[in-house]
Structure formats: structure tokens, C-alpha cells
Amino acid sequence: MAKVENRMNWYDRIAWGIVIPVVLLALISLYSIWIAAANDPKMGSPKQTVLIQAIWYLVSIGLIVLVMQFDAEQLYRLAPIAYGVGIVLLIAVLFLYNRQVAADTGAKSWFKLGPLTFQPSELMKPAFILMLARVVQKHNTEYSHTIKNDWLLIGKIFAWLIPVAVLLKLQNDFGTMLVFFAIVGGVILVSGISWKIIIPVYGTVFVLGATAIILVVTPGGQAILGHFFRAYQFERINSWLDPSGDTSKGAYQLWQSMKAIGSGQLFGQGVGKINVYVPVRTSDMIFSVIGETFGFIGSCVVIFIYFYLIFQMVQITFETKNAFYSYISTGIIMMILFHVFENIGMGIDLLPLTGIPLPFVSQGGSALIGNMIGVGLILSMKWHHKDYMFSTAGDF
């Protein structure tokens, strides 16, 4: 690679098209958490809840600044270290998980540090994306694209995915596992693997997913799937397929969310006005606050902000013209897209309920840090792409 003179000042090197949407989502987050906490007697002080989230944002901003200092070469070298640290944390939480949080959520995936809880799988997401980008980058440098070599690349990708998936299975965190599969699915699409492989593989995954849903609602089907899923997960599928079937038990949260969003109608109830109680509203069901207070118009504005953020991420990826960066950004984009689609989808009964937060909006420090590290990685593309000229994908 050849280093070139960089005449851009620091202001021009910042991707404001990414920074501004994230700031807007942060303001929406603090407002939504405030209103949700103020109307939930179980949440305690709204001021304290919002203050804690604001502190997490400040910590995340510091991490963004730190991540932006690493260029592509340094990220390439750090990928195995980040992946290794993530695996160690995922193993450690199996022994040191907080029993009370596990009893409440059903997942052994949270450390508790004083009054704070932390989910290491959220840190594993950007670490896994870096490792995945390194694996694809290295393979494409060493091998040409043939059917045999493409299958070899898929094998390498899944070799790094399987340890993560197994550990998440042991934690009983199926929702987070789906995020990692979404990341892999996106990176495979841009890795150069032949469509002769992609189409049958993705078709098989679709058929398996559809078959699993059919088995859930078929007599005896749950007995077959019982080796892989738990009773509450079957209940979530049933409530998704029939949300009005039992609104006092398994479908209660979903039904209340739909009522809240529906009550917002076109323009919403108004700032600070929510009348429908929704469990876990500050985190998983935060979109119901937006739907109820700002209505259909406000909800569309929030979705547009996400669309604009993703568009800016894609644009920066094309500007840098670097294969390694493109794999990183694809993983981050898929991570954010899956979170947005799943969180909003489950709130309006488009998808089954999972413990997937809304990026940059839901309450929670670990999810916010994971997403902000992803933002930092993409910001580093704009920050460094004038420092080096990459002639090929194999310049590392």
C-alpha cells in the first residue's frame, strides 16, 4: 500500500451523515426512556434511569473515538485478539451469570457489576464481525473463486461461527444467536461466493425455518423441537400466530404493544402522553412509546432515520473502495438492520417476540456499546481512507 499526503482537516474526516442520525436516535432514546419509566411504577426514578442511559452514551462516545484511531491494517491484526476475548467472556458468563437476571429473562447471559448488568454477547458482535472480515479477506487473497474454494470459505466462516452459536445456546439466548446468523448471511452475500452455492443454501435455510414454524403448530411437532427450544419460545410463536388468543398470559406483552401503537393513530397522543401499560417498555418494547406518543407519522420518521443511517454507511463503504472494510461494514449493517427489523416487527406482530433491543434507542448499556463500536468502525473508514491507498484486497 502507498501512503499519501492527507490534506483533510479533522472536521472533513468525520462522517457527519452517520453522526447526526445517531445523535437524533440518542435524543429519541432519552425521551422515550423518560416517558416509559415515568409511567411504569416498577422502574423507579425516571431521572435516574435516563441519567444512567446518558452515562452509557458518554462511555460509548469515548469508545467511538478510541475505535476511530485504528486503521484497516491495525483492525486486521486485532481481529483474532478481539474474537478471543469475546469467546473468553462468553465462557465466563456461563459460570458467573447473575442468577436473578437469569430467573427474570431465562438466559444465562448477564454479568452483574454492582447496580449495573452487562451482556458480553453484545461486545462479541463487533469482535465477530472483525474476525469474519479477516477470514473472508485472507481467503479471497489466497484463493480464486471456484465452487470448491467457495465451499471452503463457507466452511471457514462456520468454523468461527459454531463456537459462538454453541456458547449462546448454552446461555439460552436464541435471539442473539439469530443476530450472528444474520451477520454471517450478509457477509456471505458480499464475499464473492458463487450464486450457484448461495441460492440452494439460502433456500434450504428458508425451508428449514418454515418447517420449524409448521411443526410448532402441528400436534406432536413441539415434541420434536423440544430438544432445541423451550416452552416459553413455543409460547412466543403461538402468540405471534394468534396474538388475540390468550391476551392475559403469553400474548399479553404483544397485545399491549399493539394496543399502544394503535392508540397513537396518525399523529400520536402527544408529547409525554401514554395511556397503555406495556411490560419491559424501556427496552424491548421501546417502539411502542414512539408509536403511542408520535403516531404513524412519528414512527415513519424514526424508521427513515434508520434508513438514512444505513444509506450513509453503504455510501462510505463504496467511497473507501477497500474489500476488508466492505466486509466489516456489511456485518455492522446486517447487525443493525436485523435489530431494527426484529424489534419493530415484534412490536406490531410482524415477527415473534425476542429479546432484541432497538439500536441506539432501547435502554441498556451493553447493547448500546456494541452498536456504537460498530458505528466507530465505520467512522474509522472515513477517518483513515485518505491516509492510505489500497491497490488490491490483499494489501495487508
pLDDT value, residue 8: 59
pLDDT value, residue 391: 38
Q: Which of 84-88, 120-124, 221-225 has the lowest mean pLDDT?
A: 221-225
pLDDT value, residue 317: 87
Which residue has 437524533 as its cell numbers? 24
For residue range 299-311, what is the model confidence (pLDDT) as tens digits? 999 999 999 999 9
pLDDT value, residue 230: 67
Tell me what the mean pLDDT of segment 79-107 comes to: 89
**CA distances, 23 to each of 26, 61, 122, 307, 375 (Å):** 5, 11, 21, 15, 12
Helix, strand, coil: what percent of the chain each, to 5?
70, 5, 30
Q: Is residue 120 pLDDT above 90, yes or no?
A: yes
Q: What would you measure as the largest C-alpha separation in the chain, in angstroms?
A: 68
Tell me the pLDDT of the chain averaged across its residues.
87
Structural domain contains residue 265: yes
Q: Is residue 330 pLDDT above 80, yes or no?
A: yes
pLDDT value, residue 139: 96
Q: Is residue 88 pLDDT above 80, yes or no?
A: yes
Structural domain contains residue 244: no
pLDDT value, residue 1: 42
Cα 32 to Cα 26: distance, rounded to the nearest angstrom: 10
Tell me what the mean pLDDT of segment 28-35 comes to: 94
Write down the pTM of the prediction: 0.91
Please tell me which residue, 340 or 246, carries the higher pLDDT value: 340
Structural domain contains residue 198: yes
For residue range 172-224, what is the model confidence (pLDDT) as tens digits? 888 899 999 999 999 999 999 999 999 999 999 899 888 877 777 676 666 66
Q: Mapping DSSP to helix (H, G, I), strand (E, B) and coil, where does residue 279 land?
A: coil
203: left (phi over 0), alpha (psi -120 to 50) or beta: alpha
CB 35 within 8 A of CB 274: yes
Q: Is residue 244 pLDDT above 80, yes or no?
A: no
Structural domain count of the chain:
1
Cα 272 to Cα 269: distance, rounded to the nearest angstrom: 8
Closest to 346 (Cα-Cα) out of 249, 248, 240: 240
pLDDT value, residue 224: 66
Structural domain contains residue 383: yes
For residue range 146-155, what is the model confidence (pLDDT) as tens digits? 999 999 999 9
Q: Which domain holds residue 344?
A: 2-223+254-389
Closest to 270 (Cα-Cα) out of 246, 290, 244, 240: 290
For residue range 336-385, what is the model confidence (pLDDT) as tens digits? 999 999 999 999 988 888 888 999 999 988 999 999 999 999 999 888 87
Structural domain contains residue 354: yes
Residue 103: pLDDT band with limits 50, 70, 90: confident
pLDDT value, residue 5: 45
Tell me what the mean pLDDT of segment 251-278 comes to: 88
Strands 111-113 and 116-118: antiparallel
Structural domain contains residue 228: no
Structural domain contains residue 183: yes
